[in-house]
Chains A and B, each alone.
Chain A
């Protein structure tokens, strides 16, 4: 079955550590996205990529980094520079052709301890 997979589902990090969240899709989608959701709030765009080896900052990119070396993979690194990293992180993909909807992974819940 085609889909988008995020791992791990839960992640605990000590303050000052970098962590990398995995996102893999086998839908052959060109576009991939990372969002952050805080309790009771909507999704905010961190980074997005329309094509391999290219990515753009979203609205809240500070303290995060990404790479897009393969079409299937779009990992997100939460660096120690991110002041408030505890949140629900969602990865999404789409065909990237204007009208196409986005499909989401199951999310990673990151907690800083």
Chain B
């Protein structure tokens, strides 16, 4: 079983739409969680960390459900510039020293 699993998409949405991605992780002892954004042929960049209490940054909201071992990302009022692949990342390992990446969910925002 993969450490982190995501729906690969693509999610094709119109501008202004609200879209949500989910991600599940297998290690219940995982300590830290993140969403990264990756543009085509570029390196991943941190979008936001995910806290137990949930967190919001502008149009983006991330939530963590430890009981069900899933993480979510909600994007409101989608912009064309939001088109990218969104990677779910979990920090696990014996000393919480390994980052495990989901395969990514591709988002296409259309005019």
Measuring CB to CB, which residues of chain B are less than 8 angstroms from any residue of chain A? 4, 8, 31-32, 34, 41-46, 49, 87, 89, 91, 95-104
Closest to A35 in B: B101
Q: Which residues of A contact B98 (CB under 8 A)?
A: 45, 48, 58
In whole angstroms, how far apart are the Cα atoms of A105 and B87 in the complex? 16
Is A101 a contact partner of B43 (Cβ separation < 8 A)?
A: no
Is A104 a contact partner of B45 (Cβ separation < 8 A)?
A: yes
Q: How far in angstroms is the closest Cβ of chain A from B77?
A: 25
Total residues of chain A contacting the partner, CB 8 A? 28
Is A43 a contact partner of B44 (Cβ separation < 8 A)?
A: yes
What are 13 A-B residue pairs whose CB atoms fall within 8 Å in the complex? Answer: A33-B99, A35-B101, A50-B97, A90-B43, A94-B99, A96-B97, A99-B32, A104-B43, A104-B45, A105-B43, A106-B43, A107-B42, A109-B41
